[in-house]
């Protein structure tokens, strides 16, 4: 309404209706047409726009007109801007979440170096320790994914639906595809980070880790 009808107030109510141009001139002979609408068939739309552009450029430069293609392009630009903003915010949140996930795993392993050295000193092999760390990483990863799927589904079904329900230009489609795309990435991090921590852990001998001060 604010785009097609020229409404410039968010509080006032406007009643809009259409009259034939001749009827308007007959009812208000001393007034000029404020706005004139052309109903043009789709096949002649391009020619009509070209005619109006030519009229504006060569006859009346003060003429302002808005065509359907202009509205469509304006809406596409708004959609692209909203999409870019949404992707940027999602990317930032994803990076913060991944860094937090990595930090949790690294901190949990680094704080237990002495513990690992003790259980290795009584017989645990490197392979067993590596498997244990990998399983713990998967435990963190799977737990994070389960929580993300549950909270994500709830957020989409409730939060996103409430955001678009009042917008007549928007449609709601439930999807968890972005989360499904992130799932293998999360699993990969859950396996890779413990493995890299284990490789760094093994740079020190068991005796050095046992002597380390907490």
Does the residue 32 lie in any domain? no
Does the residue 202 lie in any domain? yes
Does the residue 64 lie in any domain? no
pLDDT digits (tens, 9 = 90+) for 167-191: 777 788 888 888 888 899 889 988 8
pTM of the model: 0.61
Average pLDDT value over all residues in the chain: 82
Tell me which residue range forms the domain holding 129. 94-211
Does the residue 70 lie in any domain? no
DSSP state of 42: G
197, burial (CB in 10 Å: exposed 0-12, middle 13-18, buried 19+): buried
Task: Provide the domain count of the chain.
Answer: 1
Does the residue 20 lie in any domain? no
């Amino acid at each position: 309404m604010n785009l097609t009808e020229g409404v410039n107030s968010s509080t006032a109510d406007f009643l809009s209706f259409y009259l034939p141009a001749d009827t308007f001139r007959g009812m208000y002979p001393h007034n000029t047409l404020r706005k004139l609408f052309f109903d043009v068939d789709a096949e002649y739309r391009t020619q009509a726009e070209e005619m109006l552009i030519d009229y504006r450029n060569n006859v009346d430069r003060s003429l302002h007109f808005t065509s359907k293609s202009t509205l469509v392009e304006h809406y596409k630009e708004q959609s692209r801007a909203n999409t870019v903003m949404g992707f940027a915010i999602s990317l930032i949140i994803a990076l913060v979440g991944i860094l937090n996930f990595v930090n949790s795993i690294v901190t949990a392993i680094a704080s237990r170096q002495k513990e690992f050295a003790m259980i290795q000193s009584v017989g645990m092999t490197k392979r067993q320790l590596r498997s244990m760390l990998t399983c713990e990483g998967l435990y963190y990863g799977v737990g994070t994914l389960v929580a993300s799927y549950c909270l994500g589904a709830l957020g989409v079904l409730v939060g996103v639906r409430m955001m678009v329900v009042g917008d007549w230009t928007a449609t709601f489609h439930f999807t968890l595809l972005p989360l499904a795309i992130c799932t293998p990435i999360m699993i990969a991090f859950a396996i890779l980070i413990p493995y890299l921590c284990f490789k760094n852990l093994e740079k020190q001998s068991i005796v050095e880790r046992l002597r380390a001060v907490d």
